[in-house]
Amino acid sequence: MRDTPINHPQPRLRGLDTMMLIRAYEERLALMQQNNGVPGTCTSVGQEACAVGVLGALDSRDRIITNHRSAAHLLARGADPGRLMAEVLGRVDGYCGGHSGSLHVSARELGVVLTSTIVGGGLSLAPGVALAQKMGQGEEGGVVVVFFGDGAACEGILHESLNLAVQWQLPLLFVCENNQWQAYVHRLETMADDAIYRWACGHGLDTQRIDGNDSDLVLEAARQAVGAIRADGRPRFLELLTYRQRGHLEPDDLAYVDQVERQRWLKRDPIALMQARLKAEGLLQDKELRTIEEQIHRQTDTAQAFAEASPWPDPQKLLQHVYAG
């Protein structure tokens, strides 16, 4: 189902491997959607350093709530790309038996509580999950991380969630992936102040704004935030400045995108930045990079073959795990 990944002893090289796997997985899905008409997904191409940096600071005690751009978070958490792709294709070997598609994946074994396609939906549930952790429903010292974008930051639920987290002193890390786009609308069209972390400051918690395309910086900031939460049980807030390189929903022709801005951000591609840095430090050679690329290509081939070979769900089980009030 999944090739054995290259297990670098150097954590930053493992992080690069994961970023490259995320990119290859999402680009393969986008190609499949373009050519084969498989269900569309919202990719996080260009945002890989955010996922790898934050998830690299967590351990098995921790819980994750994510959004419609969830593949990077899931893969960085250790999800199998074959099972993940099978879920997108609606097949029984997916993480939710093909019921969720790409937009509602949960994986208890990975600590992934929820993927919500509702903008800000994860923010509405995160305080409850963190309260359960605080009340002893999870392992001692466990932290809850909720990922959301700049679009969700414009929702009132952000302030409600922040208020509860501070008032109840919850072990909750808010991670805003500010990728410059809110579906098909640029964030500058909706925000008078683009510094989202300042909005959180008013609620009385520690906040930080980080270059989200630098996985080293993200990892260090996340480690500090998670360590502080474990120590005092108080929430923290990280705003990660990044860029969504592809459109809102695949396939997308990017006709609405300012190409000058896009090209400027492409020059700061997080994977290219990390590759260049590791080469400059003598930790990565061109030959080794080609080996990684070849193995990731095989992993992606294997994932696609597994997903496409997985059976369709039994129609008689269509209403399992579906609830009505």
For the segment 228-271, what is each residue's pLDDT rounded down to a tens digit?
999 999 999 999 999 999 999 888 889 999 999 999 999 999 99
8 Å CB contact between 262 and 245: yes
325: confidence class by pLDDT, cuts 50, 70, 90: low
Domain encompassing residue 84: 11-245+252-300
8 Å CB contact between 120 and 143: no
Return the CATH number at 23: 3.40.50.970
Q: Spell out the long-range contacts of 10-14 with Cβ–Cβ below 8 A and sequence spacing 24 or more.
A: 10/283, 11/56, 12/215, 12/216, 12/274, 12/278, 12/283, 13/278, 13/283, 13/284
Residue 309 within any structural domain of the chain: no
Residue 268 within any structural domain of the chain: yes
Residue 175 within any structural domain of the chain: yes
Sole residue written with tokens 């790898």:
52
60-97 pLDDT, tens digit per residue, is 999 999 999 999 999 999 999 999 999 999 999 999 99
> Count of domains in the chain?
1
278-314 pLDDT, tens digit per residue, is 999 999 999 999 999 999 999 999 999 999 999 999 8
Residue 318 within any structural domain of the chain: no
Least confident window among 5-9, 26-30, 84-88, 214-218: 5-9
- In sequence order, the β-bridge partners of residue 175 are 147, 238
Residue 24 within any structural domain of the chain: yes
| pTM for this model (two decimals) | 0.93
Residue 316 within any structural domain of the chain: no
Residue 20 within any structural domain of the chain: yes
Task: Please give the residue that has the higher pLDDT: either 6 or 172.
Answer: 172
Residue 1 within any structural domain of the chain: no
Q: What is the mean pLDDT of the chain?
A: 92
* 65 closest CA partner among 110, 111, 113: 113
Q: Is the pLDDT of residue 37 over 80?
A: no
